[in-house]
Amino acid sequence: MRVDLFDFDLPPERIALRPAVPRDSARLMVLDGTAGMADRIVSDLPSLLRAGDCLVFNDTRVIPAQLEGMRGEARIGATLHKRLGLRSWQAFVRNAKRVREGDRIDFGEGVTAIAGAKDDEGAITLNFEGDAPVEILLERAGRMPLPPYIAAKRPTDAQDREDYQTMFAREDGAVAAPTAALHFTPELMAALEARGVLAQTLTLHVGAGTFLPVKADDTADHNMHAEWGRIDAAAADRLNAVRAAGGRVIAVGTTSLRLLESATGEDGIVRPFADETRIFITPGYRFRAVDGLMTNFHLPKSTLFMLVSALMGRQRTQEAYAYAIAQGYRFYSYGDSSLLLPG
């Protein structure tokens, strides 16, 4: 499909630079089957779901994967996006033309790395020196990797260390937050439990590739970045039991959805999974694992907007986004949310 079919105009003032406070006070646009759009707030979620439904959360934890350093006199920026080994990460590097294989980059706070080879997409392997775990080094020298559309408008600060982390964060490894789950609070989870709504976690380490634009003119020519995910046998069994009992599996975030679809066969059975996934979902895809999706509002021509279009239909998704813009919804990572139930 032509990528320009997924374009739309977004006024810059619609981009949220801070999250709602409290988190579950964010607005929630509900798009349910063939019904029209409804304006609610996230804390209304228990009344919008049924007992026996299951919300699926990503428990990945964002690491402070953005580094600023020097290679000689050249200032270098690096955003880690994929672990290659115990001390090696692939990184998107700003000012990469000034970095050659074998160069030492000093990121301050005693953190240094030797530049390795570049891959076909321009990412550079960084081999960190010393014996301390890389996660400890990042806690010393790294910053939270805010999305570029926020970082371009304001600097990262201490508040982002809390704001850009979900309450489910357990497994270190993400360099971008599973932002749909940022809206959840312990109070909301208690209300959902009282309603009889179930919860399940899985792990997909979100990579910085999620922010990269689709440069191809046709979706068939786009190369997705790989992300590592895991669903254990107990989680797969619980999710299969939900559907067998007539409940709905609703992914909280596109990361949860992509992992679920990667782990589910044509028979609709979720199976244990521990591998990389490059799944790219566009209109025409037949969903096997999920009955709905809670997600924030995504960038024009992005793979995530294409995924939402696949779930709800391209024309209907364009209409919903136009409605959200007209009604003042806040977009992107710190923005408002939507509940999409195709029926």
Distance CA 180, CA 323 (A): 19
Residues 299-321, mean pLDDT to the nearest whole number: 96
**Would you place residue 122 in the very low, low, confident or very high pLDDT band (cuts 50, 70, 90)?**
confident
Q: Which CATH number fits domain 3-62+163-341: 3.30.499.10, 3.40.1780.10, 3.40.50.720, 3.40.30.10?
A: 3.40.1780.10
CA-CA-CA-CA dihedral for 162, 164, 165, 167, to nearest 10: 80
**Would you place residue 72 in the very low, low, confident or very high pLDDT band (cuts 50, 70, 90)?**
very high
Neighbour tally for 196: CB within 10 Å: 13
**Would you place residue 114 in the very low, low, confident or very high pLDDT band (cuts 50, 70, 90)?**
very high
Residues 2-17, mean pLDDT to the nearest whole number: 95
The answer on pLDDT for 74 being more than 70 is yes
Distance CA 3, CA 332 (A): 19
The pLDDT of residue 213: 74
Distance CA 12, CA 34 (A): 30
Distance CA 51, CA 197 (A): 5
The closest of 57, 58, 27, 21 to 43, measured between CA atoms, is 27
At 141 the three-state DSSP class reads helix
CA distances from 217 to 120, 311, 321 (A): 19, 22, 22
Give the strand pairing for 198-204 and 227-231: antiparallel
- Yes or no: say if 19 and 301 are a contact pair by the CB < 8 Å rule: no
Containing H/E element for 192?
helix 186-195
The answer on pLDDT for 57 being more than 90 is yes
CA distances from 238 to 65, 243, 251, 341 (A): 33, 9, 14, 21
The answer on pLDDT for 191 being more than 90 is yes
pTM listed for this prediction: 0.93
The structural domains of the chain, with segments of one domain joined by +, span: 3-62+163-341, 66-142
CA distances from 115 to 35, 66, 106, 207, 256 (A): 54, 16, 11, 20, 33
The pLDDT of residue 211: 67
- Locate tokens 């109070």: which residue? 187
- Yes or no: say if 252 and 198 are a contact pair by the CB < 8 Å rule: no
Tell me the average pLDDT of the chain: 94
The pLDDT of residue 64: 94
Note the pLDDT tens digit of each residue in 123-171.
899 999 999 889 899 999 999 998 888 988 999 898 999 999 999 999 9
H and E: helices and strands count for the chain: 9, 17
The closest of 199, 265, 266, 254 to 229, measured between CA atoms, is 254
At 263 the three-state DSSP class reads helix
Distance CA 195, CA 148 (A): 38
Residues 172-185, mean pLDDT to the nearest whole number: 95
The pLDDT of residue 82: 84
**Would you place residue 208 in the very low, low, confident or very high pLDDT band (cuts 50, 70, 90)?**
confident
Note the pLDDT tens digit of each residue in 283-296.
999 999 999 999 99
Note the pLDDT tens digit of each residue in 225-275.
889 999 999 999 999 999 999 999 999 999 999 999 999 999 999 999 999
The closest of 37, 50, 47, 23 to 249, measured between CA atoms, is 50
What CATH code is assigned to 66-142?
Answer: 2.40.10.240
CA distances from 72 to 75, 97, 107 (A): 8, 13, 11
**Would you place residue 13 in the very low, low, confident or very high pLDDT band (cuts 50, 70, 90)?**
very high
